[in-house]
Amino acid sequence: MELLPEFMLFALLGGLGLAIISAPLGVFMVWQRQSYFGATLAHSALLGISIGLFLQVDLTLSVIFISMLVAASVFALSQYKQLSSDTLLGILAHSSLAFGLILISLQDNIQVDLMGYLFGDILNINTTDLWLILLTSVLILLFYLKHWQSMLNITLNPELAQVEGTPIKRVQLQFVLLLAFMIALSMKIVGVLLVTSLLIIPAAAARKLSQSPEQMLLFSILIGCISIVGGLMSSYYIDLPTGPAIVMMATILFLLLQLKPQANSFK
């Protein structure tokens, strides 16, 4: 007798894969205080949906393309200091969301499940989604095998990293493009509004348990996986909405860990 139906097994595999690929990106988002950058990319995903509907192309490809274009644009504009980074991100986040909603409203005879895109539908994950998650995990693994120490140096002291010859702009651009690709991929699984939570909350919770960057990465993966399993089981047995249930579990773990005294000096 099967403990879980097939669609739940697919959801579990996809969710665990998402937790694993989120952690390496999420820890650096937390360290570099880039959570608003993730939110901007998540909002731009809705613009990708509307453009995909307008051009009648595959929505996943449209969202990935627009998210990566917005990420590259943010990176390029951030090199100029006329506007602060939080102001720039705020403008892009809300304007892309507004333009996306306007484009959708202008199209006749198109019925789109905005709730599905906003909050995800992990229970409808398929084999193609699993292969995309695997591809993303390979890209992230290759990136960190080459640039883990460079990312740490940039995070701790960008001026010193530049003096030591670290190609800061190239490494950071690759990072934001990977982040955009991952967020676009995750939109179908946990939704536009919840994907940033899955990136940030496990990484923030892992700080209480970590004495090194490597430990924080491993604990972030563990907390993310527990959140996925707990959220899916809550959804299956208590009939909760799946995406919000996953984020709820991550938030509960974060709050519980805040009760634990900080036993080390790692930040």
- The residue-averaged pLDDT of 28-56 equals 79
Architecture in CATH for domain 6-258: Orthogonal Bundle (1.10)
Closest among 104, 113, 102, 135 to 187, alpha carbons compared:
113
Q: pLDDT band at 71, cuts 50/70/90?
A: confident
* Cβ 231 vs Cβ 198: under 8 Å: no
Highest mean pLDDT among 53-67, 92-106, 213-227: 213-227
Domain spans in the chain, listed from the N-terminal domain onward: 6-258
Rounded to whole angstroms, how far apart are CA atoms 129 and 11? 10
Mean pLDDT for the chain overall: 81
pLDDT tens per residue, range 127-163 = 888 888 888 889 999 999 888 888 888 888 777 777 7
Please indicate, yes or no, whether the overall pTM of this predicted structure exceeds 0.85: no
What the block records as the tokens of 40 is 């901007």
pLDDT at 262 > cutoff 70: no
Closest among 164, 168, 199, 163 to 181, alpha carbons compared:
199
